[in-house]
Chain A
Amino acid sequence: MKSGSSFAVRWLQATSAIFSKDIKSELRTRYALNALVMFVITTLSIILFALGGEAASSELMCGVLWIIIFFSTMSGMSRSFVSEEERGTVLTLQLMTRPSTVFFGKLFFNFVLLSGTNLLSIVLYLVLITNFVVRTPAIFIVVMLLGTMGLASACTIIAAIIAKANTKGTLYPVLSFPILLPLLLTVINGTLLSVEGAPFTEALEEVQILVSYFVVITAVSYLLFDYVWKD
């Protein structure tokens, strides 16, 4: 017989168990972490070489920052679902818990992974790109946080979808990019505003869009996940 704890408590327990399993597994094998860190460093190096010491406009550098973030996301964020498929542990999880715990556990894992990667990208960017100065930090922080949330949300459901397909690697960016377009455009705009030193009130529209994007995509993903995950 089950203990007296409520459904919500057990749901949270299961979700956090999935989350910690993924974290623990990642720390031991470091598959995604290695790919992500190396990707950020490599891409940034290429960009610095390409600039050749010339200072590019800060508008351009805002866009480039998000190019780095987008492609590093593509290189490492599908891991949490693809590894379960490749190792055949999907059945193991299906036997133990309802799909929603897997979805939210891995969504949170992806968010943590992406936050770490983006933090690295941002720090390196601020240090190495001299004319990239954030004049309104409030906008920058909020836009980055909400952008990472939206990115994690969209990339989690797409990862769940492509994990079941044959050509996972190339399919991931192909499916993700159109879905992410509204997010990327908004986020680049917001970053631009923060670099120009605009007051926070000017970025309210971007913030609204980012919040609604995250809510909509997460809600739709949650509703669809059962159909994607279950056989």
Chain B
Amino acid sequence: MALKLLLGLWIAAIIVVGITFPIVPVPQAWYEFPLIPGLENKARIMLFHVPMAWVTVLAFLISMGYGIRYLVKKNIDDDEKSAASAGLGLLFCVLATVTGAIWARFNWGAFWNWDPRQTSIFALLLIYGAYFALRSALDVEEKRAALSAAYAVIAGATVPFFIFVMPRLLPGLHPGSGGSGPLMGGTMNATLRIVFYASLAGFTALYFWMLNLRNRLAKLRTHHESVGG
């Protein structure tokens, strides 16, 4: 109970801080963010967009992990957990894509540019969509579990290609692509860094909390079905 409240306050604090702390060229006070040339106020979205993108990838990896566990142990609960994580991954992927598109509109002029990272997050969105389309087309539980786990693993096998290969092939607009080095490390001051990592932690905790809720709900549902329903 206390943890839930703490999480809520944590996220609220990040949102407030992210939006209100002033951005100045040379930060003096502890509550001031540095001005990143070219980004200015738009940098605020980095506090939310990057953690969301991070969580969607984490959710996919966890979903794939539970899928592999199902293939090995054949315990249907692992499949439930895989689907639960994928559902959250889809949610965060939509959020990351939308926040990314908003950033793109203000920074580069258009909502969509086919920059490699934008393309990758879009591909991940398609993978999530395909995963659920596949699940909805299968009625037998065991088959649904095995086939969606198999698809998750194949999709996982293509992820290295997205991460390492695409930026080499396509010119990048993203901060941190095309050889300009990771933006995050270089130009953040202490305050921004703290808030950024706090946001990262907050969103990760939010994901695990939601995953835990979904898993508990799934367990209750199966218990209810097998006892009475």
A interface, CB within 8 angstroms of B: 154, 157-158, 161-162, 164-167, 171, 174-175, 177-179, 181-182, 185-186, 189, 205-206, 209, 213, 216-217, 220-221, 224, 227-228, 231
With a cutoff of 8 Å between Cβ atoms, the chain A residues found around residue B3 in the complex are none
User: Top 4 closest A-B pairs, CB basis?
Assistant: A182-B161, A165-B137, A178-B126, A220-B157
In the bound complex, do residue A182 and residue B147 qualify as a contact, i.e. CB atoms below 8 Å apart?
no
The answer to whether the Cβ of B213 comes within 8 Å of any Cβ in the partner chain is no
In the bound complex, residues from chain A placing their C-beta under 8 Å from that of B160 are 216
CB distance from B122 to the nearest CB of A (A): 9
Q: Mark B68-110, 1 if CB is under 8 A from A, else 0.
A: 0001000000000000000000000000000000000000000
Nearest residue (CB) in B for A212 is B161
Q: Does B134 contact A (CB under 8 A)?
A: yes
Q: Within the complex, which residue of A167, A177, A186, A206 is in contact with B126, where a contact is CB–CB below 8 Å?
A: A177
Segment of B36-44, B47-55, B166-174, B191-199 in the binding face: B166-174
Q: How far is the CB of A94 from chain B (nearest CB, A)?
A: 14
CB contact between A161 and one of B134, B157, B166 (< 8 Å): that residue: B134
Report whether A213 and B134 are in contact in the complex, using a CB–CB cutoff of 8 Å. Answer: no
Chain A nearest CB from B196 CB (Å) reads 30
Q: How far is the CB of B225 from chain A (nearest CB, A)?
A: 22
Which A residues lie within 8 Å of B127 (CB)?
178-179
Chain A residues, Cβ within 8 Å of B210: none
Q: Does B154 contact A (CB under 8 A)?
A: yes
B45 within 8 A of A: no
**30 intermolecular pairs with C-beta atoms under 8 Å apart:** A157-B154, A161-B151, A162-B137, A165-B138, A171-B134, A171-B137, A174-B126, A174-B129, A174-B130, A175-B133, A175-B151, A178-B123, A178-B124, A178-B126, A178-B127, A179-B154, A179-B155, A179-B158, A181-B126, A181-B162, A182-B158, A186-B165, A186-B169, A189-B169, A206-B169, A209-B161, A209-B169, A213-B161, A224-B153, A224-B154
CA distance A205 to B71 in the complex (A): 35
Q: How far is the CA of A30 from the CA of B149 in the complex (A)?
A: 33
Residues from chain A with a CB closer than 8 A to the CB of B139 are 166
Bound-complex Cα distance A228 to B124 (A): 22
Chain B contact surface mostly = helix
Which chain B residues (107-163) contact chain A, with CB distance < 8 Å? 119, 123-124, 126-127, 129-130, 133-134, 137-139, 143, 146-147, 149-151, 153-155, 157-158, 160-162
**Smallest beta-carbon distance A186→chain B, Å:** 6
Q: Which of B119, B154, B170 contacts A220 (CB 8 A)?
A: B154
Closest-by-CB residue of B relative to A220 is B157
Q: How far is the CA of A154 from the CA of B71 in the complex (A)?
A: 20
How far, in whole Å, are A206 and B126 apart by their CA atoms in the complex? 24
Contact B170 A205 (CB under 8 A): no
- Nearest chain A CB to B128 CB, angstrom units: 9
Q: In the complex, A185 Cα to B168 Cα: how many Å?
A: 11
Cβ distance A49 to chain B, nearest Cβ, rounded Å = 27
- Chain A residues contacting B143 (CB-CB under 8 Å) are 164, 231
Shortest CB-to-CB span from A126 to chain B, Å, is: 25
The residue on B at minimum CB distance from A230 is B146
Q: Is B71 within 8 A of A216, CB to CB? A: no
> What residues of chain A lie closer than 8 Å to B170, measured between beta carbons?
185
Q: How far is the CA of A49 from the CA of B223 in the complex (A)?
A: 60
Known: A166-B139, A182-B166. A217 touches B157 (CB 8 A): yes
Which residues of A have CB within 8 Å of B130?
Answer: 174-175, 177-178
Question: Once the chains bind, are A182 and B153 in contact (CB under 8 Å)?
Answer: no
When C-beta atoms are compared, the residue in chain A nearest to B74 turns out to be A227
Chain A residues lying within 8 Å of B147, measured Cβ to Cβ, are 161, 164-165, 228
Chain A residues closer than 8 Å to B137, beta-carbon distance: 162, 165-167, 171
Query: Which chain A positions have C-beta within 8 A of B138?
Result: 164-166
Q: Which residues of B contact A228 (CB under 8 A)?
A: 146-147, 150
Contact A182 B154 (CB under 8 A): no
Chain B nearest CB from A90 CB (Å) reads: 12
C-alpha gap A221/B154 in the complex (Å): 7
**Given the interface contacts A165-B138, A166-B137, A228-B150, does A178 sit within 8 Å of B155 by beta carbon?**
yes
